[in-house]
């Protein structure tokens, strides 16, 4: 990053008369005269005037002002900001895919339908489910779709009084939000001090007004919930369904399957677990899987395999009668689906089964290396992520926010902070399976350095970041009074 460009917008680099382009001569002839005069500009637009090298440098420098997983370690908990192989980007960008139109006749897009179908089948195998739709655009959208399937199921049985969804207090914020958008009432169930769900409290909440219980496993503090089979039995005994938030499925890949644990409906974030870069708002994909018996409620369109012919299977696009209908424009974010399929096929069974052990090893390595300096409220073997409750020594007044900001000066993105809400100073770290031991050691060294500095020079830590292009943005002003134009309009 070239400091000369910090904080500049392209207008700041403008000089009258400079040009970075050459356009062909106006060859409209008297075509211009035919445009009604009240539609013609009277003044030239206020565009920046700049030479091409300055423009190229400006935008390239601007692109490195932002932190990305391609520029550094990004241990954002509950987000799986992992490095994704560039091969998958290349495969999904092939012109053969790019040129397709969703409304082309099925017989002309058999390869694309095959890819959709093959990914659905692979996800069924991975999740232990009966069928998958790939149509939802994100995790939250998948949750909404899954809850709509659950509603459709209860309604199909004439069971209209199920209006509640039970969600643990550690759940990702999208869980209660999706339940509310689906028109259901959210009831929270507490976690025990060890971070797992309070099974007895849950038992007390179950009755015939409950439509579903939503759970994440490993849960949002990275702990494996080992009482799921017992919970599934309780939930099913009261007539409700058990929903699995599989946004971060990497710790379980090929090792345990939500379907085998007793979950009825689940979603997966392809943009966390299956090789689509994420952050910055998209694009994503949140496929939803259901156990056998619930397939008919999935959204349409769906891709169905037609009987095997002499030249292999063929595929068609179908809209089953009981389907809850459209939840997205067509068959989802197809390029994200292609990346996921390419990822699964290139890693293969053995490669996929390494993701969980490596993610788990990396998280526990970082946790154990730093626990003497940071407070570890849940002292157990974690899966892919874990939570510190701020610095162990709180006497200096250095908070989780300060630690997170100081990490930026060390060239690391901050972990997730102040989430989950179970602890005051949550610092949630997810290293992911793709990081090398050298990267983890550098991160551990930076965290140690910050803890030492908090004791010796707390003011420096409290004023961080000192080295970044933008230091402390005013989040509130940015939301309430956004400046979206260079000029005062």
Ligand X SMILES: *Cc1c(COP(=O)(O)O)cnc(C)c1O
- Taking contact as CB under 6 A, which single stretch among the options 240-248, 256-264, 366-374, 400-408 is the one that binds ligand X? 240-248
Q: Judged by CB under 6 A, does residue 432 bind ligand X?
A: no
* Burial status of residue 147 (CB atoms within 10 A of its CB: 0-12, 13-18, 19 or more): buried
Task: List binders of ligand X among 254-273 (CB under 6 A).
Answer: 269
Instruction: CB nearer to ligand X: give 138 or 340.
Output: 138
DSSP letter for each residue of 196-255: SB-HHHHHHH-STTEEEEEE-SS-TTS---TTHHHHHHHHHHTT-EEEEEESS-TTTTTT
151 near 182, Cβ under 8 Å?
A: yes
Stretch of 224-232, 245-253, 391-399, 423-431 lying at the interface with ligand X (CB under 6 A): 245-253
Nearest one of 382, 106, 147, 141 to 264, comparing CA atoms: 147
Is residue 382 involved in binding ligand X (CB under 6 A)? Answer: no
- Tell the smallest beta-carbon distance from residue 220 to ligand X (Å): 6
Q: Does 426 bind ligand X (CB under 6 A)?
A: no
Cα distance between residue 124 and residue 130, in whole Å: 6
Specify the DSSP element, H or E, that contains 61.
Answer: helix 52-63
Choose, by CB under 6 A, the member of 133, 174, 217, 328 that binds ligand X: 174
User: Which two three-digit tokens encode residue 109?
Assistant: 């897009």
The SS3 call for residue 404 is helix
The total of other beta-carbon atoms located within 10 Å of residue 326's CB is 12
Residue where the block lists tokens 């929903």:
243
The reply to whether 362 sits near ligand X by the rule CB under 6 A is no
Q: Is 383 in the site for ligand X (CB under 6 A)?
A: no
Instruction: Please state the closest distance from residue 248 (CB atom) to ligand X, in A.
Output: 5
Structure letter (DSSP) for residue 187: E
What count of other Cβ atoms lies within 10 Å of the Cβ of residue 156?
Answer: 12
Site for ligand X contains 78 (CB under 6 A): yes
Interface residue with ligand X among 284, 289, 356, 390 (CB under 6 A) is 284
- Does residue 448 come out as left (phi exceeding 0), alpha (psi in the -120 to 50 range) or beta? alpha
Q: Does 245 bind ligand X (CB under 6 A)?
A: yes
Which of residues 50, 76, 91, 140 is near ligand X by CB under 6 A? 140
CB-wise, 284 or 415, nearer to ligand X? 284
- Minimal distance in Å, beta carbon 387 to ligand X? 14
Minimum CB distance to ligand X, residue 170 (Å): 10
Interface residue with ligand X among 248, 250, 426, 434 (CB under 6 A) is 248
Task: Enumerate the β-bridge partners of residue 210.
Answer: 164
**Least distance CB 154 / ligand X (angstroms):** 23
Residue closer to ligand X by CB (options 106, 186) is 186
Binding string, 384-423, against ligand X, x = CB under 6 A? ----------------------------------------
139 binds ligand X (CB under 6 A): yes
For residue 265, give the H/E element and its range.
strand 265-268
Stretch that binds ligand X, among 85-93, 106-114, 244-252, 370-378 (CB under 6 A): 244-252
Cα–Cα distance for residue pair 385/400, rounded to 1 Å: 17
| Contact set with ligand X (CB under 6 A) | 78-79, 138-140, 172, 174, 216, 220, 245, 247-248, 269, 284, 286
């Amino acid at each position: 990053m070239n400091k000369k460009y910090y904080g500049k917008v392209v207008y700041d680099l403008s000089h009258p008369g400079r040009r970075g382009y050459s356009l062909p001569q106006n060859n409209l002839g008297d075509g211009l005269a035919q445009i009604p005069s009240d539609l013609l500009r009277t003044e030239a637009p206020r565009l920046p005037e700049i030479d091409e090298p300055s423009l190229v440098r400006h935008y390239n420098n601007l692109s490195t002002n932002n932190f990305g997983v391609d520029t550094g370690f990004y241990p954002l908990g509950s987000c799986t900001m992992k490095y994704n192989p560039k091969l998958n980007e290349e495969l999904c960008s092939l012109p053969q895919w790019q040129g397709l139109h969703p409304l082309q006749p099925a017989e002309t897009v058999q390869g694309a339908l095959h890819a959709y179908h093959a990914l659905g089948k692979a996800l069924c195998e991975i999740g232990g489910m009966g069928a998958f739709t790939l149509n939802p655009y994100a995790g939250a959208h998948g949750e909404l779709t899954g809850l709509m399937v659950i509603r459709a199921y209860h309604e199909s049985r004439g069971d209209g009084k199920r209006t509640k969804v039970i969600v643990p207090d550690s759940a990702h914020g999208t869980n209660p939000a999706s339940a509310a958008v689906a028109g259901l009432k959210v009831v929270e169930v507490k976690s025990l001090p060890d971070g797992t769900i309070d099974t007895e409290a849950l038992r007390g909440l179950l009755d015939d007004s409950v439509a579903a219980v939503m759970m994440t496993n490993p849960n949002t503090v990275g702990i494996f919930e080992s009482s799921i089979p017992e919970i599934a039995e309780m939930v099913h005994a009261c007539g409700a369904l058990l929903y699995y938030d599989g946004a971060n499925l990497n710790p379980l890949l090929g090792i345990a399957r939500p379907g085998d644990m007793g979950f009825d409906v689940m979603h997966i974030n392809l943009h966390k677990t299956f090789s689509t870069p994420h952050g910055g708002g998209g694009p994503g994909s949140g496929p939803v899987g259901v156990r056998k018996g619930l397939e008919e409620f999935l959204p349409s369109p769906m891709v169905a395999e037609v009987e095997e012919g002499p030249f292999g299977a063929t595929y068609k696009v179908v809209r089953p009668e009981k389907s809850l209908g459209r939840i997205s424009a067509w068959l989802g974010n197809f390029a994200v689906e292609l990346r996921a399929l390419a990822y699964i096929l290139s890693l293969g069974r053995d490669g996929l089964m390494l993701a969980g052990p490596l993610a788990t090893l990396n998280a526990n390595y970082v946790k154990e290396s730093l626990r003497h300096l940071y407070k570890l409220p849940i002292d157990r073997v974690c899966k892919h992520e874990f939570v510190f409750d701020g610095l162990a020594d709180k006497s200096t007044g250095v908070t989780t926010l300060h630690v997170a900001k100081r990490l930026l000066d060390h060239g690391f993105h901050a972990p997730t902070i102040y989430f989950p809400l179970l602890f005051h100073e949550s610092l949630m770290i997810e290293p992911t399976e793709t990081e090398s031991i050298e990267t983890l050691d550098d991160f551990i060294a930076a965290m140690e350095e910050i803890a030492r500095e908090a004791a010796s020079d707390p003011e420096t830590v409290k004023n961080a970041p000192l080295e970044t292009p933008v230091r402390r943005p005013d989040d509130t002003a940015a939301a309430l009074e956004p400046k979206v134009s260079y000029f005062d309009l």
